[in-house]
Every structure is written in C-alpha cells, then in structure tokens.
Amino acid sequence: MQKLVIVESPAKAHTIKGYLGSGYKVVASKGHVRDLPKSTLGIDVDNNFEAHYINIRGKGELIRELKKEAKAADKIFLATDPDREGEAISWHLATALGVDPTEANRITFNEITKAAVKDAIKRPRRIDMDLVNSQQARRILDRIVGYKLSPFLWKTVRNGLSAGRVQSVATRIIVDRENEIRAFVPKEYWTVDADLITEKGKKLTARFYGKAGDGKKTELTCESEAMEVVNGSKNEQFKVREVKRGKKFKNPSPPFITSTLQQEASRKLNFQSQRTMKVAQELYEGINLGSEFGGVQGLITYMRTDSLRVADEARAAAKEYINERYGDKYYPENPRVYKTKSGAQDAHESIRPSRVSVEPQAIRSKLTPDQYKLYKLIWDRFVSSQMASAELSTVQIDIGCAEYVYRSSGYTVKFPGFMALYEESADVEVEKSPRLPQISEDELLETDKITPEQHFTEPPARYTEATLIKFLEERGIGRPSTYTPIITIITTRGYVKRSGKSLIPTPLGEVITKLMCEQFPDIVNYAFTASMEDNLDRIEDGDSTMSDVLSSFYDGFKRELEAAEASVSKDDIDVPVEETDIVCEKCGAKMIVKDGRYGKFAACPNYPECKNTKPLTKSGKPAPSVVPDADGEVKKCEKCGSDLVIRTGRYGSFYACSKYPECKFTKQIAKPLGVKCPKCGADIVAKYGRNRTQFFSCEKYPECDFSSWDTPTDEKCPKCGKMLLKKKGRDTLVCIDSDCGYKSVDDGRDK
C-alpha cells in the first residue's frame, strides 16, 4: 500500500516525488476541483449564504482518477499551498474524494526542499476551517458583487460589462489620480546655480539657499526674484562660510514580501506583476539543477506572503555566507530581525532563497532568463538584508556671496556594507549627490558662471503597477494573492489601459467609476474595502464568523442596489467615445474606436452616412491599408492584380483584394510567434487549417517540416531541456519529445 500526496501542480508533484521515494505516490489536482457554478449565483442568500459548489467542468476524469488513488492509499496527505486558497482547495478535495476533513491529513511547507517536505509529512494536522471560511467568505462576497452588479451595468451602460468588489476600488484609485492630474495647476519657481572653482582648480556647483542670517530656505517664485539674486551675486566674492562634515548610516531593505517583490521586479526588471508571480511560482515549485545541486530543487520560499519573518537556520546560513564571502565586518554585531507590520499574516516566512549556498551565477545555465533574473533579485535582496549597514561620509558646504548663502551637499561611501551587493530602486529617480572636492572654511572661490533656471511643479505621476501595488498595500486593500489578479482584470476588462509603465483609465472606466461612486459608495470606498479585508482576517483568526461578515455586508449592498435600479436608466449614462488620430479619407472626420465581434476597430463617427471602418492593431494604431512587400512595393492580388489590403475577421487579420466584392481573393497572414523552430532555428508562425483551426509551423515550411497543433513556447523541459508545448485550451505544458513524457500545468491562481 502507498501513501498518497495531493498537490496543486504537476511541476510541484514532480519535485516532491523525488524527495519521498517509492512508498509515496504524488499527484496533482491542477488547482481547484470544485467551485460555484458559472451560470447562476450559486449562493442562497436567504439561507445563511449557503454556497452551492459543483465539480468544475472538465475535471470529472481527474476527480475519478483521484478517487481511485485515494481509495487505494492507506494514508492521504493534502499538500496544497500554505495559504487561504490552498486550504480551501484541500477542503474541496477532501469533500470531493470523501476524505474525512477532521482527520490529520493536511500538510504545508514554506519551501519545497527535501528537509521541509519530510518534516511536514511527520506533522500532519486537520484542515483549518477558519482559513477555509475566510476564503469562502471572500469568494462569496466577490460572487455577490459580480453577479448582482453586472446586470445593473448591462441595463445602464452597455452589454457585456462586469463589476468586481476590489477591482472597482482599484479602478477608482486610477481614475482619482487622473482627476488629480487634470485639476493640477503648475506653480512657477526658479533656481540659481553658481559654478565655482576652488583654489586647487576643482569644480563645484552650489545652489542659492537664502539670505545670510535668516537660517531658512528662500523660495524664488518668479524671474524677477531670481534675477535679483543673480545681479546681487555678480562681481561679488564667493567665500566658504562653513563646512559641516558628518557620518550617516544606511540600513539595508528587508527581505521581500509579495508586494515589494512585485514592485522591485517592475522597477529593476520591467516585469509586470503577472510575469513576476508566474516566474516566482516556477522557482518555488522546483527546477532541475542537475546532480551537482541535488536534482530538482525548489529555489525560493512561498511567494504569497506579507510576513518579514526569517527562519533561524536561514539567518544562520546567511551569516556563514557573508562572513566567508565578504568578511566579518560585513555582518552586523547583532543578527537583523525585521518587524512585520500589524495585521500581516505570519503563517510563513518572507520570500528568500531556500538555500543561500546556491548562488544565482552558479545555476544560471539551468534557468530561463526570467528565472535567473528573478532568482538573483530575491537572492541579492535576502543576503543584503542580513548584512551590515553602509557608512556614508556626508558634507554640507555653505558659501557666502554678498548677502546671500549658496549651498552644496554630497556624500562619499566610507564603508559599503550591504551596498556592496544590492540597493533598492525608487519609483521616482532621485538626483544623486555629487562627489564634492576637498575644501576648507574661508576659502575663496572663483566664479565661472551663475545660471538662473525656470521650473514648474509637476502633477502627481500616474500609477504604475509598482506604485499601485504599494498604494493597495498601504491602504490595506487586497492581500498578497490578489494584487496581480486585480491589475489583470481591470486591464482586460478595458477599464484601464497601459501606456508604457503607466496605468490610465479609459473613458469607459471613468464612466463606470462615476456611476459606482454615486450609486455604490461603499463598494468603491477605500476604507470600507480595507475593513472588509480586516473582517476576512478576523474569520481566519476565529474572531468572527462567515455568516456575520456576509450578513453585515449584504444588508447595505442590497439597499444600494435596489435604490440604484429604481433611479438610474440607460438614458442617464453617456459613455464618451474614444477619438483616434486617424482621419477618415471619405469624409474628413476623426475616426473613433468601436468594439466589434473580433476586437476594436476604427469607425467613422458620421455613421450611417459614412460607413468607413479600419482595422486596428493591438497597440491601437491603424493596420496598413495596403500591403508592401520586401522591396516596399505594394503587394498585388494574385487573381486580378489589384492592391492587397489588410482586413480583420473572426480569425484575425488577413490579406484581401481591394476590389472586394468584385474580386474575393483572400490570403491568411502567417503571424510570427516569437519562438524559434527547434529543427532549424527559423521563426515559428501561426496559421489556420482548412477547418479554421489554428496550428503552428516553421516559416520555411515545407523546406523545414516542423508543425504542431499545440503552441510552441520558449520554455525548456526541466527533464530533458527540449521545447515545451502548451496544450490547446489548457494550461498544460508538455515536452515536444513524447519519449520524455514531461507534463506540467499552471494552477491559474494569478490569472
């Protein structure tokens, strides 16, 4: 008889199987196996909010297989992720498989290492129903808001819209910032800089600070004030009045939690949060490092956490590494212990490398570029967080000129400490302090030039993913596992769009936010949403019940919904059109963006008098009206010789004859996938077969015969290193080599 271990993903199952040996069978549930039905609310609000769960469509065969394995096993371990969602998945598994949830069959581990997994197997516990109920309460809250509000938006704004509890708040945050930017009135101010030369010929720049004797900074608000300073300083002697030297210590940043990892990966690596969490999941679940490093290893601790706690053994390992690599002086007198903010969940540690001894550079060849970048970021941040403070030598020079004081400040690094390894980035680039020359009091300085410069105050910056996550965390809106889905949902729904790194509300997002603020003020209230998170935490801690939290919320929400349905109609809502820079060649009007069956397109605003339309690319730019070939000449129709144009249909863009409908010639466009052919190294392109089913082939086909119905990826098989293919309609990744047999799957938690 075998012991059965059920985890969430096949990748994790593969890693853990290598640790436990032949007495255990490790299988994957591939995420949730039960959920609320999609077609109905699935919640009996009049019967204590009882949830009606059903088996997820498409999981029937998997559930039958899991039942068969569970029946054959003499002991079952539910080893899903160590958070609310993971606890709920274990509870649903126990229910679906007929496992007694009161038995000690739940195990968790903060890192997927051999020691951690074997230790967890020795200490199983019961399923924590407080954790499960906390997750259920969140799921039911979100279902009620989504299923009750969405029909209201269909009736008042337009069909196909949807609303979410926390997503509506996030959209409001971005809309509020846009309104701040619009309302901002810039204020003029001036600076006066003096470029000076010391007695030893060194250059020094000092900025006007104020009048001598005032002891305070003077703001220059207009040109006349600035020129008064310039004229009063010309032909006058600059003389050093005071040199203040000091010592300053700079402490390292703490190890990562989910929010700070997403912020820093955005700033340093230009990763979107979804990309960050996908790669972090891969590092957590295990990478094949080869026999030199013990085979398949989980490289980091669990990546959904808001705790700064560090295990004693990890701290000791960091100390040993720092002392050996940098020397004793780079380790502080006392080990660093970081205080977790109040309200954070301390169930598991901060995000850190599972083994400090596994240096990023040593395993670089075993990782994808993204995996290496993120692992190095996590490794550097953790090791530096345990290092000694940096010591800076600061200097401030006050220089007198007539009745004015000019000031120059800077610092030098006396001892780098943790800065020898890592420094945290900032959301706004900070002007670096210059390295100042050696200078002494009463030294006379030669004037090179005095420069006045006009400035204007800047409006607040638009949110980026990094700054939005920081705001959500500071306000207590959402939790580590929800930051990425929040941003993904508001962008995919079209309420927010990206412009570079910035998040900008769309006209639709602004209209819906205005409607929500007027009719559902609680739903989009920052403090109210944060208090709901606190209530969910109280359920988890056993200080409140799911029924109390849901009842308290639903009573107020029901009143707001009934009042809104009675007072708002479609005639009250005006959704502004999104204008483009494209000029209609038929009537001269600026075209507007419309939504069609196959995505967005540009349309003439004078419809139906003018019915001109144009396809748009994903970036919102017009697709070319004619098709140039490699030499820049317009491509011609193979039937009649007329110009070819690009049109958009159900299966994407395609070439069509400009004389349509007289000539109905069309030809599909083979889109580069951005992945190289495993046989010849050329680009792989996406095509459509006779039954309009998409497939992929080498662009050199038929010279190179590579083709696949499954989507080629640039990910490598952890077993054999060959290409992984993504199965159609699923998140399953399979090795291109059928003899290898590797199969993996994302758990969908960050989607």
Burial 13-31 (b: 16+ CB within 10 A, else e): bbbbbbbbeeebbbbbbbb
At 24-59, the pLDDT tens digits run 999 999 999 999 999 999 999 999 999 999 999 989
Range with the lowest mean pLDDT among 313-322, 343-352, 657-666, 742-751?
Answer: 742-751
Percentage of the chain with pLDDT > 70? 93
| pTM summary value | 0.78
Q: Strands (DSSP E) along 597-735, which ranges?
A: 599-603, 613-615, 644-649, 652-657, 666-668, 671-676, 683-688, 694-698, 707-708, 711-716, 723-726, 732-735
What mean pLDDT is predicted for residues 233-262? 95
- The sign of the torsion formed by the CA atoms of 460, 463, 468, 470 equals negative
Q: How many CA atoms lie within 13 A of 99 on its CB side?
A: 31
Q: How many CA atoms lie within 13 A of 747 on its CB side?
A: 27
Contact 136, 547 (CB under 8 A): no
At 269-324, the pLDDT tens digits run 999 999 999 999 999 999 999 888 888 899 999 999 999 999 999 999 999 999 99
Which DSSP helix (H) or strand (E) runs through 447?
strand 444-456
Which DSSP helix (H) or strand (E) runs through 72?
helix 60-72
Least Cα distance to 465 among 427, 492, 503, 493 occurs for 503
Strands 3-7 and 24-28: parallel
Which DSSP helix (H) or strand (E) runs through 19?
helix 10-20
pLDDT band at 741 (very low <50, low <70, confident <90, very high): confident
Longest CA–CA separation in the chain, Å = 96
Question: How many CB atoms are closer than 10 A to CB 46?
Answer: 7
Q: Is 273-385 assigned to CATH 1.10.40.60?
A: no
354: left (phi over 0), alpha (psi -120 to 50) or beta: alpha
Strands 683-688 and 296-297: unpaired
pLDDT of residue 148: 94
**Rounded Cα gap, residues 622 and 259, in angstroms:** 37
Residues β-bridged to residue 657: 644
**Rounded Cα gap, residues 256 and 648, in angstroms:** 45
- CATH 2.70.20.10 positions along the chain are 188-251+390-456
Task: Report phi then psi at 551, rounded to 5.
Answer: -65, -45
Least Cα distance to 260 among 407, 422, 389, 420 occurs for 422
pLDDT of residue 747: 39
**Rounded Cα gap, residues 287 and 367, in angstroms:** 8
Choose, from 302, 411, 495, 742, the residue flagged as catalytic: 302
Strands 496-499 and 34-35: unpaired
**The pLDDT of residue 652 is above 90:** no
**The pLDDT of residue 362 is above 60:** yes
Which superfamily does CATH assign the domain made up of 137-184+461-572 to? Topoisomerase I, domain 2 (1.10.460.10)
Residues β-bridged to residue 247: 393
Least Cα distance to 616 among 591, 636, 635, 637 occurs for 591
**The pLDDT of residue 454 is above 90:** yes
DSSP 197: E
Q: Specify burial of residue 196 (Cβ count, 10 A radius: 0-12, 13-18, 19+).
A: buried
437 vs 626, which has greater pLDDT?
437
pLDDT of residue 749: 40
**302 catalytic per annotation:** yes
Range with the lowest mean pLDDT among 186-195, 381-390, 682-691?
Answer: 682-691
At 622-651, the pLDDT tens digits run 665 665 655 567 778 889 988 887 776 665
The overall average pLDDT reported for the chain is 89
**The pLDDT of residue 746 is above 70:** no
79 vs 693, which has greater pLDDT?
79
- 3-state SS, 650-664, equals CCEEEEEECCCCCCC
What mean pLDDT is predicted for residues 218-229? 97
**Rounded Cα gap, residues 745 and 751, in angstroms:** 13
- CATH 1.10.290.10 positions along the chain are 273-385
Range with the lowest mean pLDDT among 166-170, 218-222, 626-630?
Answer: 626-630
How is residue 503 written in tokens? Answer: 């998040």
Least Cα distance to 112 among 146, 71, 147, 82 occurs for 82
Residues β-bridged to residue 542: none
Query: Domain 3-127's class?
Result: alpha beta
Q: Is 355 helix (H, G, I), strand (E, B) or coil?
A: coil
Q: Is 144 helix (H, G, I), strand (E, B) or coil?
A: helix
At 574-584, the pLDDT tens digits run 877 778 888 88
pLDDT of residue 653: 66
**Rounded Cα gap, residues 310 and 349, in angstroms:** 6
What mean pLDDT is predicted for residues 355-374? 95
Sequence-separated (6 or more) residues with CB below 8 Å from residue 601: 593, 594, 613, 614, 615, 616, 648
pLDDT of residue 649: 65
Which superfamily does CATH assign the domain made up of 188-251+390-456 to? Topoisomerase I, domain 3 (2.70.20.10)
